[in-house]
Chains A and B, each alone.
Chain A
């Protein structure tokens, strides 16, 4: 899967450069977040600007990352969700779990 990773103000930003985050590719995102937290990184922002479609496996990968963050005393936040993607978080009540920001800049101010 295509992921662009950059660091800004001690926050690792993972830009998911895929139209779909689903059962076919979400395992890669899950592993990447696992690797970063295991390396000692504390703050991860997943930017979903390019993701038009997410399924339960994609949501599951993000939940896994969120739990990983907690177990490493870190943070995992999300930014720039498209409308239909956001509605999936609402359907599964995960909007109550994740901190979701409308832009990358706003997310970065809140770490």
Chain B
């Protein structure tokens, strides 16, 4: 890892009340990037959003809303790349089997993964020791 890399490692209980805390950390991080030349406000919103969507996915679906489980998040910024990993202890699912939303039909749900894929350059979900990880990266 290069000298100027930033790595944040957080574990929070599997509860939606922690979404704003994690989202805020992501936003603050975006505002601290000294080399970023794009629209910082939009980047901050996008990091907040991706963290929120990925955490909700872990909390509600992968960890089946079990409040005793934990969600583990790492955010790494190195070599002009943002890498977010969200770990869960659930059964896992095939991210590629989730269809994009049908814009002609008005569904209450089903936009989370679409939003993540729209914002990030690469999205992968795979098994790791004791669970799964949703790995999302974006060039800065």
Contact = CB atoms under 8 A, between A and B. Distances in A.
B14 interface: no
Interface residues of B, number: 26
A56 B111 contact: yes
Interface string B102-135: 0100111101101100100000000000000000
B115 A23 contact: no
Interface stretch (B4-12, B29-37, B41-49): B41-49
* Majority secondary structure, A binding face: helix
A81 interface: no
A53 interface: yes
B16 interface: yes
B45 A56 contact: no
B19 A23 contact: yes
Given A20-B23, A23-B16, A24-B16, A53 B56 contact: no
A56 to B, nearest CB: 4
Contacts of A60: 107-109, 111
Contact of A55 (B52, B107, B108): B52
